[in-house]
Structure 1
Protein backbone atom coordinates (compact mmCIF):
# COMPACT_ATOMS: atom_id res chain seq x y z
CA UNK A 1 0.00 0.00 0.00
CA UNK A 2 1.38 3.38 -1.06
CA UNK A 3 0.91 6.26 1.38
CA UNK A 4 0.01 8.46 -1.61
CA UNK A 5 -3.15 6.39 -1.97
CA UNK A 6 -4.25 7.53 1.50
CA UNK A 7 -3.50 11.15 0.64
CA UNK A 8 -5.45 10.80 -2.61
CA UNK A 9 -8.40 9.29 -0.78
CA UNK A 10 -8.46 11.99 1.91
CA UNK A 11 -8.34 14.67 -0.78
CA UNK A 12 -11.35 12.99 -2.40
CA UNK A 13 -13.11 12.94 0.95
CA UNK A 14 -12.65 16.71 1.16
CA UNK A 15 -13.59 17.64 -2.40
CA UNK A 16 -16.07 14.88 -3.33
CA UNK A 17 -14.89 15.44 -6.89
CA UNK A 18 -12.29 13.48 -8.88
CA UNK A 19 -11.40 16.44 -11.10
CA UNK A 20 -10.75 18.84 -8.23
CA UNK A 21 -8.79 16.25 -6.27
CA UNK A 22 -6.67 15.47 -9.33
CA UNK A 23 -5.76 19.17 -9.54
CA UNK A 24 -5.05 19.28 -5.82
CA UNK A 25 -2.82 16.20 -6.07
CA UNK A 26 -1.13 17.34 -9.32
CA UNK A 27 -2.00 14.17 -11.21
CA UNK A 28 -4.34 13.37 -14.08
CA UNK A 29 -7.90 12.37 -13.26
CA UNK A 30 -7.35 8.92 -14.73
CA UNK A 31 -4.22 8.42 -12.58
CA UNK A 32 -6.12 9.47 -9.46
CA UNK A 33 -8.95 7.08 -10.31
CA UNK A 34 -6.49 4.20 -10.74
CA UNK A 35 -4.88 4.95 -7.39
CA UNK A 36 -8.24 5.04 -5.59
CA UNK A 37 -9.11 1.71 -7.21
CA UNK A 38 -5.76 0.31 -6.04
CA UNK A 39 -6.53 1.47 -2.49
CA UNK A 40 -9.97 -0.17 -2.64
CA UNK A 41 -8.34 -3.39 -3.83
CA UNK A 42 -5.91 -3.23 -0.90
CA UNK A 43 -8.69 -2.54 1.61
CA UNK A 44 -10.95 -5.18 0.04
CA UNK A 45 -14.04 -2.97 -0.16
CA UNK A 46 -15.50 -0.14 -2.22
CA UNK A 47 -14.79 3.17 -0.50
CA UNK A 48 -16.43 5.59 -2.94
CA UNK A 49 -19.98 5.54 -4.28
CA UNK A 50 -19.51 6.73 -7.85
CA UNK A 51 -23.24 6.63 -8.67
CA UNK A 52 -23.95 9.94 -6.90
CA UNK A 53 -22.97 13.51 -7.69
CA UNK A 54 -21.17 14.85 -5.90
CA UNK A 55 -19.76 11.44 -5.09
CA UNK A 56 -20.26 10.05 -1.60
CA UNK A 57 -18.52 7.56 0.62
CA UNK A 58 -19.78 4.05 1.12
CA UNK A 59 -20.23 2.86 4.73
CA UNK A 60 -16.81 1.22 4.42
CA UNK A 61 -15.43 4.50 3.05
CA UNK A 62 -16.73 6.46 6.05
CA UNK A 63 -15.17 4.02 8.48
CA UNK A 64 -11.88 3.94 6.58
CA UNK A 65 -11.84 7.76 6.29
CA UNK A 66 -11.69 8.16 10.06
CA UNK A 67 -8.87 5.64 10.38
CA UNK A 68 -6.95 7.11 7.44
CA UNK A 69 -7.25 10.64 8.85
CA UNK A 70 -5.85 9.55 12.21
CA UNK A 71 -3.10 7.48 10.59
CA UNK A 72 -1.98 10.41 8.43
CA UNK A 73 -2.04 12.75 11.43
CA UNK A 74 0.25 10.43 13.39
CA UNK A 75 2.55 9.90 10.40
CA UNK A 76 2.80 13.63 9.63
CA UNK A 77 3.41 14.57 13.26
CA UNK A 78 6.18 11.98 13.53
CA UNK A 79 7.67 13.02 10.20
CA UNK A 80 7.74 16.68 11.27
CA UNK A 81 9.48 15.76 14.52
CA UNK A 82 12.08 13.63 12.73
CA UNK A 83 12.75 16.30 10.11
CA UNK A 84 13.63 18.82 12.79
CA UNK A 85 16.04 16.33 14.31
CA UNK A 86 17.49 15.36 10.92
CA UNK A 87 17.91 18.76 9.30
CA UNK A 88 17.31 21.30 12.03
CA UNK A 89 15.64 24.67 11.62
CA UNK A 90 18.85 26.14 10.15
CA UNK A 91 18.84 24.02 6.96
CA UNK A 92 17.04 25.37 3.90
CA UNK A 93 15.54 22.56 1.81
CA UNK A 94 15.00 23.59 -1.81
CA UNK A 95 13.29 21.41 -4.41
CA UNK A 96 14.13 22.32 -8.01
CA UNK A 97 14.23 20.97 -11.54
CA UNK A 98 17.52 19.48 -12.70
CA UNK A 99 18.52 22.43 -14.93
CA UNK A 100 17.86 25.00 -12.19
CA UNK A 101 19.65 22.84 -9.60
CA UNK A 102 22.81 22.71 -11.72
CA UNK A 103 22.93 26.09 -13.40
CA UNK A 104 20.91 28.64 -11.42
CA UNK A 105 20.82 27.55 -7.80
CA UNK A 106 24.57 27.80 -6.98
CA UNK A 107 24.80 31.38 -8.27
CA UNK A 108 21.53 32.37 -6.59
CA UNK A 109 22.65 30.87 -3.27
CA UNK A 110 25.92 32.82 -3.43
CA UNK A 111 23.99 36.06 -3.98
CA UNK A 112 21.75 35.29 -1.01
CA UNK A 113 24.70 34.50 1.25
CA UNK A 114 26.25 37.86 0.33
CA UNK A 115 23.61 39.62 2.46
CA UNK A 116 22.21 36.80 4.60
CA UNK A 117 25.52 35.33 5.73
CA UNK A 118 26.42 31.63 5.83
CA UNK A 119 23.41 29.52 4.93
CA UNK A 120 23.10 25.75 5.07
CA UNK A 121 21.07 24.51 2.13
CA UNK A 122 20.00 21.13 0.81
CA UNK A 123 19.08 21.03 -2.87
CA UNK A 124 16.61 18.33 -3.92
CA UNK A 125 16.79 17.89 -7.73
CA UNK A 126 13.68 16.42 -9.34
CA UNK A 127 11.45 16.66 -12.37
CA UNK A 128 8.87 19.45 -12.25
CA UNK A 129 6.01 17.22 -11.11
CA UNK A 130 7.97 15.72 -8.22
CA UNK A 131 9.45 19.10 -7.26
CA UNK A 132 5.98 20.65 -7.00
CA UNK A 133 4.71 17.64 -5.08
CA UNK A 134 7.59 18.00 -2.62
CA UNK A 135 6.35 21.49 -1.75
CA UNK A 136 2.68 20.48 -1.62
CA UNK A 137 3.46 17.57 0.71
CA UNK A 138 5.78 19.60 2.95
CA UNK A 139 8.97 17.80 1.96
CA UNK A 140 10.85 21.03 1.24
CA UNK A 141 10.90 24.66 2.37
CA UNK A 142 11.07 26.22 -1.09
CA UNK A 143 10.27 25.27 -4.66
CA UNK A 144 12.44 26.74 -7.43
CA UNK A 145 10.80 26.44 -10.84
CA UNK A 146 10.17 28.02 -14.23
CA UNK A 147 6.97 29.90 -15.02
CA UNK A 148 5.37 31.22 -18.18
CA UNK A 149 1.86 32.59 -18.63
CA UNK A 150 1.12 29.84 -21.15
CA UNK A 151 2.79 27.14 -19.03
CA UNK A 152 2.02 28.05 -15.43
CA UNK A 153 2.85 26.06 -12.34
CA UNK A 154 -0.61 25.91 -10.80
CA UNK A 155 -0.41 26.27 -7.04
CA UNK A 156 -3.27 27.55 -4.89
CA UNK A 157 -2.51 31.24 -4.11
CA UNK A 158 -4.33 30.84 -0.80
CA UNK A 159 -1.77 28.25 0.27
CA UNK A 160 1.40 29.28 -1.59
CA UNK A 161 3.17 32.54 -2.36
CA UNK A 162 6.08 33.29 -4.65
CA UNK A 163 8.92 35.66 -5.51
CA UNK A 164 10.41 36.13 -8.98
CA UNK A 165 14.16 35.59 -8.54
CA UNK A 166 15.39 35.54 -12.13
CA UNK A 167 14.71 35.03 -15.81
CA UNK A 168 15.77 32.46 -18.37
CA UNK A 169 15.61 32.28 -22.16
CA UNK A 170 14.97 28.95 -23.84
CA UNK A 171 16.64 29.07 -27.28
CA UNK A 172 17.58 26.77 -30.18
CA UNK A 173 21.32 26.12 -30.58
CA UNK A 174 23.69 23.95 -32.58
CA UNK A 175 27.38 23.74 -33.41
CA UNK A 176 28.66 26.24 -35.97
CA UNK A 177 29.59 25.51 -39.57
CA UNK A 178 32.80 26.80 -41.17
CA UNK A 179 31.19 30.17 -41.83
CA UNK A 180 30.38 30.53 -38.13
CA UNK A 181 26.59 30.25 -38.49
CA UNK A 182 24.44 27.41 -37.19
CA UNK A 183 25.14 24.05 -38.79
CA UNK A 184 21.49 23.17 -38.15
CA UNK A 185 19.52 26.37 -38.68
CA UNK A 186 15.75 26.66 -38.30
CA UNK A 187 13.33 26.09 -39.86
CA UNK A 188 14.90 23.33 -42.00
CA UNK A 189 13.07 21.85 -44.99
CA UNK A 190 10.92 18.84 -45.83
CA UNK A 191 13.66 17.49 -48.07
CA UNK A 192 16.33 17.98 -45.41
CA UNK A 193 14.77 17.92 -41.92
CA UNK A 194 17.05 19.00 -39.10
CA UNK A 195 18.31 16.35 -36.65
CA UNK A 196 16.53 17.22 -33.42
CA UNK A 197 17.71 16.62 -29.86
CA UNK A 198 14.39 16.79 -28.04
CA UNK A 199 13.17 17.05 -24.50
CA UNK A 200 10.62 14.36 -23.69
CA UNK A 201 7.05 15.40 -24.45
CA UNK A 202 5.92 15.42 -20.80
CA UNK A 203 8.84 17.53 -19.48
CA UNK A 204 8.43 21.26 -18.84
CA UNK A 205 10.93 22.20 -21.57
CA UNK A 206 9.30 19.71 -23.92
CA UNK A 207 5.97 21.48 -23.50
CA UNK A 208 7.67 24.87 -23.82
CA UNK A 209 9.29 23.93 -27.14
CA UNK A 210 5.96 22.68 -28.48
CA UNK A 211 4.43 26.04 -27.58
CA UNK A 212 7.23 27.90 -29.34
CA UNK A 213 6.75 25.83 -32.47
CA UNK A 214 2.98 26.36 -32.42
CA UNK A 215 3.26 30.15 -32.58
CA UNK A 216 5.77 30.62 -35.44
CA UNK A 217 4.51 31.29 -38.96
CA UNK A 218 6.74 28.73 -40.70
CA UNK A 219 6.77 25.30 -39.05
CA UNK A 220 10.08 23.68 -38.20
CA UNK A 221 11.07 20.59 -40.15
CA UNK A 222 12.67 18.36 -37.54
CA UNK A 223 13.55 14.71 -37.26
CA UNK A 224 13.94 13.59 -33.66
CA UNK A 225 17.12 11.58 -33.21
CA UNK A 226 17.53 11.69 -29.41
CA UNK A 227 15.27 12.40 -26.41
CA UNK A 228 16.02 13.19 -22.79
CA UNK A 229 14.63 14.98 -19.73
CA UNK A 230 18.10 16.38 -18.96
CA UNK A 231 19.30 19.64 -20.51
CA UNK A 232 22.93 18.80 -19.74
CA UNK A 233 22.70 15.55 -21.71
CA UNK A 234 21.13 17.29 -24.71
CA UNK A 235 23.85 19.95 -24.52
CA UNK A 236 26.55 17.27 -24.64
CA UNK A 237 24.97 15.76 -27.74
CA UNK A 238 24.60 19.19 -29.37
CA UNK A 239 28.30 19.88 -28.73
CA UNK A 240 29.09 16.57 -30.41
CA UNK A 241 27.32 17.84 -33.52
CA UNK A 242 24.45 15.41 -33.33
CA UNK A 243 21.74 17.99 -33.95
CA UNK A 244 19.80 21.04 -32.86
CA UNK A 245 18.48 21.46 -29.31
CA UNK A 246 16.46 24.04 -27.40
CA UNK A 247 18.37 24.80 -24.19
CA UNK A 248 18.11 27.37 -21.36
CA UNK A 249 20.72 30.10 -21.63
CA UNK A 250 22.15 29.48 -18.14
CA UNK A 251 23.03 25.97 -19.31
CA UNK A 252 24.95 27.14 -22.38
CA UNK A 253 26.34 30.58 -21.46
CA UNK A 254 29.97 29.45 -21.56
CA UNK A 255 29.50 27.53 -24.81
CA UNK A 256 27.83 30.51 -26.51
CA UNK A 257 30.57 32.88 -25.34
CA UNK A 258 33.27 30.53 -26.66
CA UNK A 259 31.46 29.94 -29.96
CA UNK A 260 31.19 26.20 -29.36
CA UNK A 261 27.44 26.58 -29.75
CA UNK A 262 25.56 29.26 -31.71
CA UNK A 263 21.94 30.27 -31.90
CA UNK A 264 20.04 28.30 -34.50
CA UNK A 265 17.06 30.64 -34.87
CA UNK A 266 15.86 34.18 -34.22
CA UNK A 267 13.76 35.62 -31.40
CA UNK A 268 10.57 34.00 -32.70
CA UNK A 269 12.05 30.63 -31.78
CA UNK A 270 12.81 31.58 -28.16
CA UNK A 271 10.79 31.78 -24.97
CA UNK A 272 11.41 34.05 -21.99
CA UNK A 273 10.72 32.28 -18.67
CA UNK A 274 10.43 33.57 -15.14
CA UNK A 275 12.27 31.76 -12.39
CA UNK A 276 10.00 31.65 -9.36
CA UNK A 277 10.56 30.67 -5.76
CA UNK A 278 7.46 29.32 -3.98
CA UNK A 279 6.78 28.68 -0.31
CA UNK A 280 3.79 27.45 1.67
CA UNK A 281 2.24 30.42 3.48
CA UNK A 282 1.65 28.47 6.69
CA UNK A 283 5.17 26.96 6.75
CA UNK A 284 7.07 29.10 9.23
CA UNK A 285 10.57 28.96 10.62
CA UNK A 286 12.80 31.92 11.53
CA UNK A 287 15.51 31.53 8.89
CA UNK A 288 12.93 30.99 6.14
CA UNK A 289 10.92 34.05 7.22
CA UNK A 290 14.05 36.21 7.26
CA UNK A 291 15.08 35.01 3.82
CA UNK A 292 11.61 35.52 2.37
CA UNK A 293 11.19 39.02 3.80
CA UNK A 294 14.52 40.14 2.33
CA UNK A 295 13.72 38.67 -1.08
CA UNK A 296 10.61 40.84 -1.17
CA UNK A 297 12.51 44.11 -0.76
Structure 2
Protein backbone atom coordinates (compact mmCIF):
# COMPACT_ATOMS: atom_id res chain seq x y z
CA UNK A 1 0.00 0.00 0.00
CA UNK A 2 2.89 2.38 0.76
CA UNK A 3 4.47 1.55 -2.61
CA UNK A 4 1.18 2.23 -4.38
CA UNK A 5 0.93 5.58 -2.58
CA UNK A 6 4.49 6.74 -3.23
CA UNK A 7 5.50 4.77 -6.37
CA UNK A 8 8.96 4.60 -4.83
CA UNK A 9 10.68 1.94 -2.75
CA UNK A 10 12.81 4.52 -0.94
CA UNK A 11 9.91 6.82 -0.06
CA UNK A 12 7.71 3.87 0.92
CA UNK A 13 10.49 2.68 3.23
CA UNK A 14 10.57 6.12 4.89
CA UNK A 15 6.81 6.03 5.44
CA UNK A 16 7.09 2.60 7.03
CA UNK A 17 10.19 3.58 9.10
CA UNK A 18 12.32 0.72 7.74
CA UNK A 19 15.34 0.58 5.46
CA UNK A 20 14.81 0.19 1.72
CA UNK A 21 16.45 -3.24 1.78
CA UNK A 22 14.13 -4.39 4.59
CA UNK A 23 11.09 -3.19 2.64
CA UNK A 24 12.31 -5.01 -0.48
CA UNK A 25 12.68 -8.23 1.50
CA UNK A 26 9.16 -7.87 2.89
CA UNK A 27 7.68 -7.29 -0.55
CA UNK A 28 9.54 -10.33 -1.91
CA UNK A 29 8.26 -12.45 1.00
CA UNK A 30 4.72 -11.25 0.29
CA UNK A 31 5.09 -12.12 -3.39
CA UNK A 32 6.38 -15.58 -2.45
CA UNK A 33 3.36 -16.06 -0.20
CA UNK A 34 0.84 -14.86 -2.82
CA UNK A 35 2.62 -16.75 -5.61
CA UNK A 36 2.78 -13.94 -8.19
CA UNK A 37 4.71 -10.71 -8.70
CA UNK A 38 2.96 -7.73 -7.14
CA UNK A 39 5.41 -4.96 -8.11
CA UNK A 40 6.72 -4.19 -11.60
CA UNK A 41 10.38 -3.41 -10.88
CA UNK A 42 11.12 -2.60 -14.55
CA UNK A 43 9.13 0.65 -14.48
CA UNK A 44 10.03 4.05 -13.10
CA UNK A 45 8.31 5.33 -11.10
CA UNK A 46 7.49 1.94 -9.60
CA UNK A 47 4.08 0.51 -10.46
CA UNK A 48 2.06 -2.40 -9.17
CA UNK A 49 1.30 -5.26 -11.51
CA UNK A 50 -2.35 -6.02 -12.32
CA UNK A 51 -2.22 -8.72 -9.62
CA UNK A 52 -0.62 -6.21 -7.26
CA UNK A 53 -3.44 -3.71 -7.84
CA UNK A 54 -6.08 -6.35 -7.12
CA UNK A 55 -4.23 -7.52 -4.02
CA UNK A 56 -3.73 -3.93 -2.82
CA UNK A 57 -7.46 -3.09 -3.12
CA UNK A 58 -8.40 -6.13 -1.07
CA UNK A 59 -5.64 -5.31 1.41
CA UNK A 60 -7.08 -1.83 1.98
CA UNK A 61 -10.44 -3.33 2.92
CA UNK A 62 -8.78 -5.84 5.25
CA UNK A 63 -6.54 -3.25 6.88
CA UNK A 64 -9.50 -0.89 7.28
CA UNK A 65 -11.54 -3.57 9.04
CA UNK A 66 -8.65 -4.51 11.32
CA UNK A 67 -7.99 -0.85 12.12
CA UNK A 68 -11.61 -0.36 13.19
CA UNK A 69 -11.44 -3.39 15.47
CA UNK A 70 -8.12 -2.21 16.88
CA UNK A 71 -9.54 1.24 17.57
CA UNK A 72 -12.51 -0.24 19.42
CA UNK A 73 -10.32 -2.55 21.50
CA UNK A 74 -7.93 0.25 22.38
CA UNK A 75 -10.78 2.47 23.45
CA UNK A 76 -11.98 -0.26 25.81
CA UNK A 77 -8.45 -0.72 27.17
CA UNK A 78 -7.73 2.97 27.78
CA UNK A 79 -7.23 4.17 31.31
CA UNK A 80 -10.44 5.56 32.80
CA UNK A 81 -11.38 9.22 32.83
CA UNK A 82 -9.14 11.89 31.36
CA UNK A 83 -6.17 9.95 30.05
CA UNK A 84 -3.38 10.00 27.51
CA UNK A 85 -0.89 7.43 26.29
CA UNK A 86 2.72 8.62 26.02
CA UNK A 87 5.69 6.99 24.33
CA UNK A 88 9.03 8.46 25.38
CA UNK A 89 12.69 7.70 24.81
CA UNK A 90 14.26 5.51 27.49
CA UNK A 91 16.41 8.30 28.93
CA UNK A 92 13.69 10.96 28.86
CA UNK A 93 11.18 8.61 30.50
CA UNK A 94 13.53 8.48 33.52
CA UNK A 95 14.97 12.00 33.62
CA UNK A 96 12.54 14.45 32.03
CA UNK A 97 9.08 12.94 31.99
CA UNK A 98 8.31 12.59 35.75
CA UNK A 99 8.96 16.27 36.49
CA UNK A 100 7.24 17.36 33.28
CA UNK A 101 4.10 15.36 34.07
CA UNK A 102 3.97 16.81 37.59
CA UNK A 103 4.20 20.32 36.15
CA UNK A 104 1.31 19.78 33.76
CA UNK A 105 -0.83 18.04 36.33
CA UNK A 106 -0.61 21.29 38.28
CA UNK A 107 -1.49 23.39 35.22
CA UNK A 108 -4.08 21.19 33.52
CA UNK A 109 -5.71 19.35 36.40
CA UNK A 110 -5.65 15.63 37.03
CA UNK A 111 -5.34 13.22 34.15
CA UNK A 112 -4.18 9.63 33.92
CA UNK A 113 -1.13 8.73 31.86
CA UNK A 114 0.13 5.45 30.50
CA UNK A 115 3.84 5.76 29.67
CA UNK A 116 5.84 3.38 27.49
CA UNK A 117 9.62 3.74 27.24
CA UNK A 118 11.00 2.93 23.78
CA UNK A 119 13.90 3.61 21.45
CA UNK A 120 13.44 6.36 18.87
CA UNK A 121 12.57 3.98 16.02
CA UNK A 122 9.84 2.21 18.00
CA UNK A 123 8.54 5.50 19.41
CA UNK A 124 8.11 6.97 15.92
CA UNK A 125 6.27 3.84 14.77
CA UNK A 126 4.02 4.00 17.85
CA UNK A 127 3.05 7.58 16.99
CA UNK A 128 2.65 6.93 13.26
CA UNK A 129 0.43 3.90 13.88
CA UNK A 130 -1.69 5.66 16.55
CA UNK A 131 -0.36 3.51 19.36
CA UNK A 132 0.11 6.61 21.51
CA UNK A 133 -1.31 10.12 21.84
CA UNK A 134 2.00 11.83 22.49
CA UNK A 135 5.61 11.05 21.71
CA UNK A 136 8.47 12.75 23.53
CA UNK A 137 11.99 12.47 22.18
CA UNK A 138 15.22 14.23 21.38
CA UNK A 139 15.76 16.23 18.19
CA UNK A 140 18.86 17.41 16.37
CA UNK A 141 18.62 19.41 13.12
CA UNK A 142 21.16 17.17 11.37
CA UNK A 143 19.41 13.96 12.48
CA UNK A 144 15.76 14.77 11.64
CA UNK A 145 12.68 12.66 12.35
CA UNK A 146 11.02 11.17 9.27
CA UNK A 147 7.54 12.46 10.12
CA UNK A 148 5.16 14.12 7.65
CA UNK A 149 4.67 17.71 8.81
CA UNK A 150 1.18 17.71 7.26
CA UNK A 151 0.14 14.89 9.61
CA UNK A 152 2.20 15.47 12.75
CA UNK A 153 2.80 18.55 14.89
CA UNK A 154 5.72 19.15 17.23
CA UNK A 155 6.65 21.51 20.04
CA UNK A 156 10.03 22.14 21.67
CA UNK A 157 9.80 21.57 25.42
CA UNK A 158 13.42 22.29 26.34
CA UNK A 159 17.07 21.73 25.52
CA UNK A 160 19.99 19.93 27.07
CA UNK A 161 23.64 19.28 26.35
CA UNK A 162 24.90 15.99 24.92
CA UNK A 163 28.41 15.60 26.35
CA UNK A 164 31.35 13.17 26.49
CA UNK A 165 32.02 11.82 29.98
CA UNK A 166 34.55 9.61 31.73
CA UNK A 167 35.20 8.33 35.20
CA UNK A 168 37.75 10.52 37.04
CA UNK A 169 41.28 9.50 37.91
CA UNK A 170 42.78 9.99 41.36
CA UNK A 171 43.34 13.70 40.68
CA UNK A 172 39.78 14.33 39.55
CA UNK A 173 40.72 14.67 35.89
CA UNK A 174 39.07 12.44 33.26
CA UNK A 175 40.52 8.94 33.18
CA UNK A 176 39.94 9.03 29.41
CA UNK A 177 40.27 12.54 27.96
CA UNK A 178 39.51 13.44 24.36
CA UNK A 179 40.95 13.27 21.78
CA UNK A 180 43.22 10.37 22.83
CA UNK A 181 46.34 9.50 20.88
CA UNK A 182 47.50 6.96 18.35
CA UNK A 183 49.76 5.46 20.99
CA UNK A 184 46.94 5.30 23.56
CA UNK A 185 43.51 5.24 21.87
CA UNK A 186 40.53 5.81 24.14
CA UNK A 187 38.24 2.89 24.98
CA UNK A 188 35.02 4.01 23.30
CA UNK A 189 31.59 3.02 24.62
CA UNK A 190 29.34 3.48 21.60
CA UNK A 191 25.70 3.53 20.60
CA UNK A 192 24.68 1.08 17.91
CA UNK A 193 25.05 2.69 14.48
CA UNK A 194 21.35 3.00 13.65
CA UNK A 195 20.32 4.78 16.87
CA UNK A 196 19.50 8.48 17.04
CA UNK A 197 22.21 9.19 19.62
CA UNK A 198 24.76 7.18 17.65
CA UNK A 199 24.09 9.39 14.64
CA UNK A 200 24.40 12.55 16.78
CA UNK A 201 27.83 11.36 17.97
CA UNK A 202 28.78 10.92 14.31
CA UNK A 203 27.70 14.53 13.64
CA UNK A 204 29.91 15.76 16.50
CA UNK A 205 32.95 13.75 15.41
CA UNK A 206 32.56 14.87 11.80
CA UNK A 207 32.49 18.52 12.89
CA UNK A 208 35.63 18.65 15.05
CA UNK A 209 38.94 19.70 13.51
CA UNK A 210 41.04 17.64 15.94
CA UNK A 211 42.04 14.07 15.09
CA UNK A 212 40.65 11.61 17.63
CA UNK A 213 41.76 8.10 18.48
CA UNK A 214 39.30 5.46 19.71
CA UNK A 215 39.13 1.74 20.08
CA UNK A 216 35.53 0.58 20.21
CA UNK A 217 35.09 -1.82 23.12
CA UNK A 218 31.35 -1.77 23.90
CA UNK A 219 28.11 -1.04 22.06
CA UNK A 220 24.46 -0.71 23.09
CA UNK A 221 21.33 1.23 22.16
CA UNK A 222 20.57 2.38 25.74
CA UNK A 223 22.11 5.56 27.15
CA UNK A 224 21.54 4.59 30.77
CA UNK A 225 23.49 1.36 30.29
CA UNK A 226 26.38 3.32 28.77
CA UNK A 227 26.29 5.63 31.79
CA UNK A 228 26.70 2.66 34.16
CA UNK A 229 29.64 1.38 32.11
CA UNK A 230 31.34 4.79 32.20
CA UNK A 231 30.93 5.03 35.98
CA UNK A 232 32.65 1.66 36.29
CA UNK A 233 35.63 3.04 34.36
CA UNK A 234 35.26 1.13 31.11
CA UNK A 235 35.78 4.12 28.82
CA UNK A 236 34.37 7.34 27.37
CA UNK A 237 30.80 7.82 26.10
CA UNK A 238 28.43 10.61 25.04
CA UNK A 239 25.37 11.08 27.23
CA UNK A 240 22.56 13.62 27.76
CA UNK A 241 23.42 15.90 30.65
CA UNK A 242 20.24 14.99 32.55
CA UNK A 243 21.37 11.36 32.61
CA UNK A 244 24.72 12.17 34.24
CA UNK A 245 24.14 15.36 36.25
CA UNK A 246 23.86 13.55 39.60
CA UNK A 247 26.96 11.48 38.85
CA UNK A 248 28.92 14.64 37.94
CA UNK A 249 27.75 16.44 41.10
CA UNK A 250 28.82 13.41 43.16
CA UNK A 251 32.24 13.31 41.49
CA UNK A 252 31.71 9.89 39.96
CA UNK A 253 31.86 11.29 36.42
CA UNK A 254 33.61 14.24 34.75
CA UNK A 255 33.45 15.76 31.31
CA UNK A 256 35.92 14.15 28.94
CA UNK A 257 36.21 17.07 26.51
CA UNK A 258 35.37 20.72 25.91
CA UNK A 259 32.37 22.30 24.20
CA UNK A 260 33.66 21.42 20.72
CA UNK A 261 32.98 17.76 21.58
CA UNK A 262 29.39 18.47 22.65
CA UNK A 263 26.03 19.16 21.00
CA UNK A 264 22.72 20.69 22.01
CA UNK A 265 19.64 18.46 21.81
CA UNK A 266 16.07 19.71 21.77
CA UNK A 267 13.43 17.87 23.78
CA UNK A 268 10.35 17.73 21.58
CA UNK A 269 6.79 16.51 21.87
CA UNK A 270 4.97 15.14 18.83
CA UNK A 271 1.32 14.36 18.14
CA UNK A 272 -0.84 13.38 15.20
CA UNK A 273 -2.81 16.40 13.99
CA UNK A 274 -5.85 14.15 13.51
CA UNK A 275 -5.79 13.00 17.15
CA UNK A 276 -9.23 13.70 18.67
CA UNK A 277 -8.55 12.64 22.26
CA UNK A 278 -9.91 15.63 24.26
CA UNK A 279 -7.36 15.14 27.04
CA UNK A 280 -4.59 15.20 24.46
CA UNK A 281 -6.01 18.33 22.86
CA UNK A 282 -6.27 20.10 26.23
CA UNK A 283 -2.72 19.15 27.12
CA UNK A 284 -1.40 20.26 23.72
CA UNK A 285 -3.11 23.63 24.10
CA UNK A 286 -1.48 24.00 27.51
CA UNK A 287 1.88 23.09 25.96
CA UNK A 288 1.45 25.67 23.20
CA UNK A 289 0.59 28.34 25.77
CA UNK A 290 3.68 27.46 27.82
CA UNK A 291 5.93 27.63 24.77
CA UNK A 292 4.44 30.98 23.72
CA UNK A 293 5.05 32.35 27.24
CA UNK A 294 8.60 31.02 27.19
CA UNK A 295 7.90 28.84 30.22
What interval of TM-score do these two structures reach, taking the shorter chain for normalisation?
over 0.9
Q: Quote the Cα distance in structure 2 between the aligned partners of 1:136 and 1:33.
A: 21
Q: Deviations over 1:248-296 (max 9, x none)?
A: 1111111111111111100000010001100010111111110000100
Q: Which of residues 222, 235, 240 in structure 2 aligns to 1:243?
A: 235
Q: Is the aligned partner of 1:220 residue 2:212?
A: yes
- Give me the whole-angstrom Cα distance separating, in 2, the residues matched to 1:55 and 1:194: 47
Give the deviation of 1:102 after TM superposition: 1.7
Aligned counterpart, 2:114: 122
Residue equivalent to 2:30: 39
Unaligned runs of 5+ in 1: 1-9
Displacement after TM superposition at 1:217 (Å): 1.1
Is contact 1:94–1:121 with CA below 8 Å preserved after alignment? Answer: yes
The match for 2:292 is none
Q: CA contact under 8 A between 1:213 and 1:219: conserved in structure 2?
A: no
CA-CA distance at 1:18 after TM superposition: 1.3
- Secondary structure of the residue aligned to 2:96 is helix
Give the C-alpha shift of residue 119 in structure 1.
2.2
Q: Which runs of 4+ in 1 moved over 6 A?
A: none
Tell me the residue number matched to 1:168.
160
Partner in structure 1 of residue 72 of structure 2: 81
Deviations 1:120-169 (A, max 9, x none): 11112121111101111111111111111111112111000011111121
Show the counterpart of 1:271.
263
**How many Å separate the matches in 2 of 1:269 and 1:76?**
46
- Equivalent residue for 1:92? 84
- TM-superposed deviation, 1:87: 0.6
TM-score under structure 1 length normalisation: 0.94
Partner of 2:250: 258
TM-score (norm 2): 0.94
What are the superposed Cα offsets for residues 24-53 of structure 1, whole Å, 9 maximum, x if unpaired? Answer: 112222211111111111111111122222
- 1:295 and 1:264 map into 2 onto residues whose CA distance is 35
Helix, strand or coil at the partner of 2:234? coil
1:282 aligned to which of 265, 268, 274: 274
CA distance in 2, matches of 1:99, 1:247: 10
1:5 is aligned to none
For the residues of structure 2 that align with 1:222 and 1:56, how far apart are their CA atoms? Answer: 47
Aligned residues: 288
How far apart in 2 are the matches of 1:55 and 1:150? 29
What secondary structure, in the 3-state scheme, does the structure 2 residue paired with 1:197 have? Answer: strand
